[in-house]
Chains A and B, each alone.
Chain A
Amino acid sequence: MLRIRDLTLGYGGREPVLADLDLDLGERQFASLVGPSGSGKTSVLRAITGLQRPDSGLIDLGIPREEIGFLFQDDALLPWRTARENAALGLRIRGASKAEALEGAEAWLARLGLAGLGGRYPRQLSGGQRKRVAIAQVLALRPRLLLMDEPFAALDAIVRARATQDLLDLVQREGISVLLVTHDLEEAIAVSDVVHVLSGGPRARILASRAVPIARPRELLAVRGHPVFAPPAAPALARP
């Protein structure tokens, strides 16, 4: 579905923030790109969607660009549109009639636990609710590939856990491929099939790629008990 080869990304002539990245994402696969701040994680997603031009390298999309959904770090909803209108925005842009788009948006809002809140403006919603509107906006377009840039980073721990679980359930059920960028290794392991770990920038590169041997469907709270999360065994103390 997505094949990246020798991708180098920078900001206008300076030393590249990330260099020679190779990455593959299969159909229905959930992959994470984990790395510290400044390792160019977000830039990879921006390059895939066409928001940023790579210095060099190949991004081979096996699907049309319209089938990619991008969930930003901040919710970036239009403040002058209601939650329902924001959720319907993508559908309207893709040519759906106003009635169809609003109906589709309302259904997604309901699925994400926002039934009855469609008439509110973003400033009248909590951070978690705004995030769900942003998710509804993207999922209403039925993307086959979802790019997520730490979408729940700004939320408090409980809301974040619930939102992540809901999103995980949805992508599993809908069979959506996901590329998540995050700096949280534990979160990446809990949700992903494959985790790619980036070094720090500049010229960040993949240090390791590991498959996560946890079966699906997953419950985030339950998977934390899986042996992959067990701390390394303490070395036995030798008796004097």
Chain B
Amino acid sequence: MNTLLDRLWLRRVLALGSLVLLWEAAGWAGLLNPLFVSPPSEVAGVAFGLFADGSIWPHLQATFTAALLGLAAGLAIGILLGFAAALVPLLAALLEPVMMLLNAVPRVILAPLFVIWMGIDLGSKVALATVLVAVLVFFSVYSGVKEVDQRLVERVRTLGGGRAVLVREVYVPSVVSWVMGNLKVAVGFAFTGAVVGEFVASSRGLGYLLQFAQSTYNASLSLALVMLIMGFVLLLFFASERLEHRLLRWRHG
């Protein structure tokens, strides 16, 4: 199994390496206009420069703070509302249409509104990331509780368990597995919220840098930032996967 995984990794690295080499070669051969697509070596140079002169750190800090705060708040709100709606039918009747509406529209359209309400500082970015994550988590939790295995519910009831025991022993673990299954998507959403929020109006952050690169027609910087964001999100995906394996040992053990 390990050998197979290693081979899979090797194949992925080889495929990515080949793509980068082709891209580089096309750049050197003059097939790509550097005004639109810079070769990977130049993109890497720009990224390295950002770290070498330290100019990237305040932007990274701003984006990560907004994304992680939004992720935490979105998880908390989504879990709380999802649980409450699943257990209290009246609340479900009130919340479901609102959440359905928020789910149906691209929620990033709220970004300008948050800027008007909260200004261009951290608050508006956290708010956008929160809304993006909370709606996703709400539906995970709501479905998780609604679709919980009824055989487990009956088993606990015949053993004498009441509502509190059911919540602790059946609903919470079911919901944790649903939420963990969506954690990677939530991480992606949190970064989307933070970066789009910064893109709309801000004075710091990777989204602000992207907006700056676009307005100055700097393709190298744009590509370097895209690569950086992808790299960081992949790192967080990996961390989420480790957390999922740890919390859901019963599924992977």
A residues near B (Cβ < 8 Å) are 49, 51, 66, 68, 70, 72, 74, 76-81, 89-90, 93-94, 121-124, 137, 141
Q: Which residue of A is nearest B160, CB measured?
A: A93
Q: How far is the CA of A93 from the CA of B161 in the complex (A)?
A: 6
Q: How far is the CA of A70 from the CA of B170 in the complex (A)?
A: 18
Pick from A70, A78, A89, A124: contact of B253, CB below 8 A: A124
Q: Which residue of A is nearest B176, CB measured?
A: A80
Cβ–Cβ < 8 Å partners of B251 in chain A: 79, 123
Q: How far is the CA of A122 from the CA of B173 in the complex (A)?
A: 15
Cβ–Cβ < 8 Å partners of B253 in chain A: 121, 123-124
**Given known A90-B160, A93-B156, contact A76–B165 (CB-CB < 8 A):** no
The reply to whether A51 and B159 form a contact with Cβ atoms under 8 Å apart is no
User: Shortest CB–CB separation between residue B79 and chain A, in angstroms?
Assistant: 17
Give 4 A-B pairs besides A78-B173, A80-B248 with Cβ atoms closer than 8 angstroms: A79-B251, A93-B159, A121-B250, A121-B253
B147 at interface by CB-CB < 8 Å:
no
Chain B 160-217 residues near chain A, CB threshold 8 A: 160-161, 165, 169-170, 173, 177
Cβ–Cβ < 8 Å partners of B156 in chain A: 89, 93
Q: Determine the main DSSP class of B at the interface with A.
A: helix
**Given known A79-B251, A124-B253, contact A51–B160 (CB-CB < 8 A):** no
Pick from A49, A89, A141: contact of B169, CB below 8 A: A89
The reply to whether B158 and A141 form a contact with Cβ atoms under 8 Å apart is no
Q: How far is the CA of A80 from the CA of B165 in the complex (A)?
A: 15
Cβ–Cβ < 8 Å partners of B159 in chain A: 89-90, 93, 137, 141
**Given known A121-B250, A123-B250, A124-B253, contact A76–B155 (CB-CB < 8 A):** yes
CB-defined A-B contacts under 8 Å, sample of 23: A49-B158, A66-B160, A72-B151, A72-B154, A76-B149, A76-B154, A76-B155, A78-B169, A78-B170, A78-B173, A80-B177, A81-B169, A81-B250, A89-B156, A89-B169, A90-B159, A90-B160, A93-B161, A94-B160, A121-B250, A122-B250, A123-B253, A141-B159
Cβ–Cβ < 8 Å partners of B165 in chain A: 93
Cβ–Cβ < 8 Å partners of B170 in chain A: 78
Q: Count residues of B near A (Cβ-Cβ below 8 Å).
A: 21
Chain B 209-253 residues near chain A, CB threshold 8 A: 248-251, 253
B residues near A (Cβ < 8 Å) are 149, 151-152, 154-161, 165, 169-170, 173, 177, 248-251, 253
Cβ–Cβ < 8 Å partners of B158 in chain A: 49, 51, 68, 70
Cβ–Cβ < 8 Å partners of A121 in chain B: 249-250, 253
Cβ–Cβ < 8 Å partners of B249 in chain A: 121
The reply to whether B173 and A72 form a contact with Cβ atoms under 8 Å apart is no
User: Shortest CB–CB separation between residue B170 and chain A, in angstroms?
Assistant: 7
User: Shortest CB–CB separation between residue A175 and chain B, in angstroms?
Assistant: 21
User: Shortest CB–CB separation between residue A69 and chain B, in angstroms?
Assistant: 8
User: Shortest CB–CB separation between residue B89 and chain A, in angstroms?
Assistant: 19
User: Shortest CB–CB separation between residue A87 and chain B, in angstroms?
Assistant: 11
Q: Which residue of B is nearest A141, CB measured?
A: B159
Q: How far is the CA of A80 from the CA of B247 in the complex (A)?
A: 10
Q: How far is the CA of A68 from the CA of B157 in the complex (A)?
A: 12
Pick the 9 closest A-B CB pairs, nearest first: A90-B159, A76-B151, A76-B155, A70-B158, A80-B173, A121-B250, A80-B250, A93-B161, A93-B160
Q: How far is the CA of A78 from the CA of B249 in the complex (A)?
A: 13
Q: How far is the CA of A79 from the CA of B157 in the complex (A)?
A: 17
Q: How far is the CA of A76 from the CA of B159 in the complex (A)?
A: 12
Q: Which residue of A is nearest B165, CB measured?
A: A93
Cβ–Cβ < 8 Å partners of B169 in chain A: 78, 81, 89
The reply to whether B157 and A51 form a contact with Cβ atoms under 8 Å apart is yes
User: Shortest CB–CB separation between residue A131 and chain B, in angstroms?
Assistant: 13
Cβ–Cβ < 8 Å partners of B155 in chain A: 72, 76-77
Cβ–Cβ < 8 Å partners of A66 in chain B: 160
Cβ–Cβ < 8 Å partners of A137 in chain B: 159
Q: Which residue of A is nearest B150, CB measured?
A: A76
Q: Which residue of B is nearest A89, CB measured?
A: B159
